[in-house]
A and B are shown apart, each in its own frame.
Chain A
Amino acid sequence: MADTTIPEPIPINLVVNGERRALEIVPWTTLLDALRDRLELTGTKKGCDHGQCGACTVLVDGRRVNSCLTLAVMKDGAEITTIEGLARDGTLHPLQQAFIDHDAFQCGYCTPGQICSAAGLLAEGRARDADEIRELMSGNLCRCGAYPNIVAAIEQAMSRS
C-alpha cells in the first residue's frame, strides 16, 4: 500500500486502570501514544521510544512491558495499568511511598517507568536480593543515576509486601 493511504481506524477496547475505554485507532499507534495522546494519561513517559530506556513501562494484564514497542491494536481487550492507576483510594502504592521515603529520583522522568517496572518485578517474585533487583530492573535507565536509592526503595517495598 502507498504510504498516503490511510486504512480505516480500528475500534478497540482497553481496560485502563480499571476503567473501560473504547478507542478507534490506526494500526501503527503504539500503546504509549494511545495512552498519552488519546487517553491523556501522560504519566507514562516517552524516553527513547525504542525499548532501550524503560520510561514507557506499563503493566499489560499484570506483566511489565515497554509500551513504546507495543501496538495498541494488538492489545484489544487487555487490562492496562499505568502509574496513574497504582494508588488506591488516595493512598500511594507501597512502591510510590518507598520511592519518596528513599528519595529514589532526581529529575523524575524515569520514575513512572521505574515504579511500574518494580510493580511487575514484585508480582514476578523472582528477585530475592539487591543483585537480583539490579539485574531484573536493568531495563529501566536513570540518567540522574539514582540507582542506589531505587534499589533501596524496591527492597523496602519488597520486605513489606
Chain B
Amino acid sequence: MNNFDYSRASDVADAIRLLTADPGAKLIAGGTNLIDLMKENVERPSRLIDISRLPLRAIEETAGGGLRIGALVPNSDLAYHPFIEQRYPLLASAILAGASAQLRNMASVGGNLMQRTRCAYFYDTTTPCSKRSPGTGCSAMDGLNRNHAILGTSQFCIATNPSDMSVALAALGALVHIAGPSGQRSIALTDFHRLPGDKPHLDTNLGSGEIITAIELPPQTFVRNYSYLKIRDRLSYAFALVSVAAALELEGNAISEARLALGGVAHKPWRSLEAEAALRGKAATPDHFGHAADLLLQGATAGSHNGFKIELARRAIVRTLMQAASATPQSQAHKKIA
C-alpha cells in the first residue's frame, strides 16, 4: 500500500471540497474494495477522505411512497431493515447473496455501487489492462475469460460489474442521488454504471468531485412474486457466473408487470425494457419466459472460455422467473434451487 494523506470530512460539502482540491484523492467509507485494491497497488490515492462519519445513514420513507436510503447504510443493515425485508425482499435477497457477513457489515451502499471489477488482469499490475492503465489493451480477451462479460463488451474491455445489490436495484428502478461541485442531481441506477466502450477506465458516470448521497427506491415493491438466483462456482461467498433478479405482478396467471435484470454478464447490471415488455399481458409460462430470456440475451457474444454463460444465463432467467411466478423465491441460506 502506498503512503497517503488522510482527511476526515466534516460534512458532504467538505468532502466535495477536499475531493476537488486533490485530483488524486479518493473517498473511503467501508473500504472493503478500495483497501484491497490499494494493497495490490491497483489504486494509489494521494489522499483518503474518510466519509464514514457523515450523517448519511438514514432509511426514510419518501413523500411518494418510496424509500430513501443513505449512502453510508451498511449492506447488512439495509438487507435486514424491516422496510427492506417486508417491502423490497428482492433487494434484501440480492444483498445477502453477496460477499460475507463481515464484508456486508463493513461495506456501504454507495461503496457497493462504486466497487470495481474482480477481473484477475485488472488486479494483476504486471499485465496490460485498459481499465487499470488506459490504452494498454485487454489481457482477458485472449486470456482466462471464463467469468467475463457476454453482453455490452468492447474491444477494449470484457470485465463484469461484480455487484449483486445493483442487479436488484436495476430491476426495482432505483435512483442514485449525487452531490457535487455544481449542486445535486439524480440519475437512474441503470444509467449510473457505464459500458466499457473506448473508456473502460470509467466504471460509472459519476463526475469528478461528486459523491453519492443516497439511493431512492420507487413505491412499487414486488413483495410476492420475486426471486434472486445467483449461479457461482461455490455455494457462498463467490462472485456470480450469472445472477438473475426477477419480479412480477400477476393477475391470476397473467403478467401485468415484469422486471428482469442480470448480474455477472456485463460491465453494468443488464436490463432490457424490451424483454420486460414482451412479458406484459402474457401467461406466466416457461415458453414466455424463454422468449423474454432470448430478448434479454440478444447480442450476447462468447469469448474463448465463457460461451457456456449464454445458455447458463438463458436457463437461469427461465428458472428465476418460474420461482418468482410460483412465489417460491430462491433462499440464500438453503441452497437447493426450486
Contact residues in A for B236 (Cβ distance below 8 Å): 134-135, 138
Would A71 and B35 be within 8 Å (CB), given that A27-B48, A64-B102 are in contact?
yes
- CB of A6 within 8 A of CB of B105, answer no
- CB of A51 within 8 A of CB of B36, answer yes
Instruction: Give the CA-CA distance A57 to B237 in the complex, in Å.
Output: 15
Q: Of residues 1 to 45 in B, which have CB atoms within 8 Å of A's CB atoms? A: 1-6, 28, 31-32, 35-36, 38-39
Cβ of B112 < 8 Å from any Cβ of A?
Answer: no
Contact residues in B for A124 (Cβ distance below 8 Å): 76, 101
Smallest CB separation, B119 vs chain A (Å):
15
Most buried by A among B6, B47, B236, B333: B333
Closest A residue, CB atoms, query B335: A131
Cβ of A90 < 8 Å from any Cβ of B?
Answer: no
- CB of B52 within 8 A of CB of A28, answer no
- CB of B333 within 8 A of CB of A66, answer no
Cβ of A10 < 8 Å from any Cβ of B?
Answer: yes
- CB of B6 within 8 A of CB of A50, answer no
Smallest CB separation, A155 vs chain B (Å):
14
- CB of A57 within 8 A of CB of B333, answer no
Cβ of B50 < 8 Å from any Cβ of A?
Answer: yes
A23-54: CB near B (< 8 Å → 1, else 0) gives 00011101000000000000000000111001
Q: Which residue of the partner chain, among B6, B80, B103, contacts A51 with CB atoms under 8 Å?
A: B103
Contact residues in A for B48 (Cβ distance below 8 Å): 27, 71
Q: Of residues 93 to 110 in B, which have CB atoms within 8 Å of A's CB atoms? A: 99-103, 105-106
A87-110: CB near B (< 8 Å → 1, else 0) gives 000000000000000000000000
- CB of B101 within 8 A of CB of A64, answer yes
- CB of A120 within 8 A of CB of B101, answer yes
Instruction: Give the CA-CA distance A132 to B184 in the complex, in Å.
Output: 41
A-B Cβ contacts below 8 A, count: 100
- CB of B50 within 8 A of CB of A139, answer no
Smallest CB separation, B1 vs chain A (Å):
5
Contact residues in A for B334 (Cβ distance below 8 Å): 131
- CB of A131 within 8 A of CB of B333, answer yes
Would A69 and B4 be within 8 Å (CB), given that A138-B237, A139-B101 are in contact?
no
- CB of A6 within 8 A of CB of B31, answer no
- CB of B39 within 8 A of CB of A136, answer no
Contact residues in B for A4 (Cβ distance below 8 Å): 3
Contact residues in A for B272 (Cβ distance below 8 Å): none
Closest B residue, CB atoms, query A7: B5
Residues in chain B within 8 A of chain A (CB atoms) = 1-6, 28, 31-32, 35-36, 38-39, 46-48, 50, 52, 76, 80, 99-103, 105-106, 235-237, 332-335
What are 13 contact pairs spanning A and B, CB under 8 A?
Answer: A10-B6, A27-B5, A49-B39, A50-B36, A64-B101, A65-B106, A66-B102, A69-B36, A74-B28, A117-B102, A121-B101, A124-B76, A126-B80
Given contacts A1-B46, A5-B3, 4 further A-B contacts (CB under 8 A): A70-B35, A120-B102, A135-B332, A136-B333
